[in-house]
Amino acid sequence: MPSIDLVHRAKIPPEAGPKQPVPVVVMVHGWLGDETVMGIFKQTVPPGVAVISPRAPFALNGGYVWYQRDQEQLQPEPDSFWVGRDHLNEFLAGLPHRYPVDPTRLVLMGFSQGAAVCNTIALTQPGQISGVASLAGLIPEVVTQTAQPDLSGLPVFIAHGTRDETVPLAAARQARDVYTRLGAQVMYGEYPTGHKLTTKGMADLKHWLAKTIVV
C-alpha cells in the first residue's frame, strides 16, 4: 500500500465517506512554501470537493522545496528533482487509502515550482490525474526532452503574469505548446501582473475547475 509520508492539510467535505468518495484537488506549493500557502486558492474549488495540500519534502531556508534548482535558469538539479516527483507521486497514490477521495477525479494545482512538479506528473504519470492547473509555472527541460505521452482530452489550465520576473512568460507559452501538441485540452491565460494571479485569473481558474471536476 502506498504511504503518505508528506506533512499535509486536508479539507474533506462532510458528505464524503467510504461509499461516497469525492473528487479532490491537490494543491502543490512553490519554492520555500509549505502546506498553508495555497489556501487562497480554496475559493476557486467547487463545493463537495476535497482539498489536500502537501508540504514539499526538502527543507531550505525556513521553507520547503520540491527540488534544488539552478538559480539563474530555474532548471532542476536532476537527482533531487526526480526524488521530489516520486514523493508527490506516492502521496497521490496513497490518498484513497487515507481519505474518502476518488482517484479517478483527482486534479493537480501547482504554483511556480509546484506547477513544475504537477506538470511533470502530468507528462510522466498521466494516468494518475484527471486535470492539471499550472499557475505561474513551467515544464522543466528534462521533462520536455524525454516525455511524449498521449494526453488526448486531458484538461489543462495555464495562467501566467505578463510581468512575471521569477518565471518568464515564455515558459508558460512553451508549456501551452507542449500540452497542445500532446493532445490536451488547454485553457490558457496571460494576465497583467507579476508572479501571482489576478482577480480575473482566479475567476478563470474557478470557471475551469467547475467545468473540469464532476461532483
4 pLDDT tier (thresholds 50, 70, 90)? confident
Lowest mean pLDDT among 35-44, 99-108, 137-146: 137-146
Q: What is the pLDDT of residue 209?
A: 98
Which three cell numbers, joined as nine digits, stand for 126? 498521466
For residue 147, is pLDDT > 90?
no
Per-residue pLDDT at 75: 78
For residue range 48-103, list pLDDT tens digits in order. 999 999 999 999 999 999 999 876 557 788 789 999 999 999 999 999 999 999 99
Tell me what the mean pLDDT of segment 4-23 comes to.
96
- Across the range 21-46, mean pLDDT stands at 97
Identify the pLDDT of residue 174.
Answer: 97
Compute the distance between CA of residue 73 and CA of residue 170 in angstroms, rounded to an integer. 13
DSSP string, 33-65: B-TTGGGGGGGGSPTT-EEEEEPPSEEETTEEE
25 pLDDT higher than 70 = yes
Between 106 and 80, name the one with better pLDDT: 106
**Per-residue pLDDT, 3:** 66
The whole-number pLDDT of residue 146 equals 87
pLDDT for res 113: 96
Q: Above pLDDT 70, what percent of the chain?
A: 96
Mean pLDDT (the chain) is 94
In CATH terms, the fold of domain 8-212 is Rossmann fold (3.40.50)
For 41-44, the CB contacts below 8 A with 24+ separation are 41/109, 41/111, 41/135, 41/202, 41/205, 42/11, 43/202, 43/206, 44/202, 44/205, 44/206, 44/209
**What pLDDT is attached to residue 79?**
83
Task: Compare 72 and 35 and report the one with higher pLDDT.
Answer: 35
For residue range 195-206, list pLDDT tens digits in order: 999 999 999 999
> What are the sequence ranges of the domains in the chain?
8-212
Q: Kindly tell me the burial class for residue 2, based on how many C-beta atoms sit within 10 Å of its own C-beta (0-12, 13-18, 19 or more).
A: middle
Rounded Cα gap, residues 55 and 34, in angstroms: 5
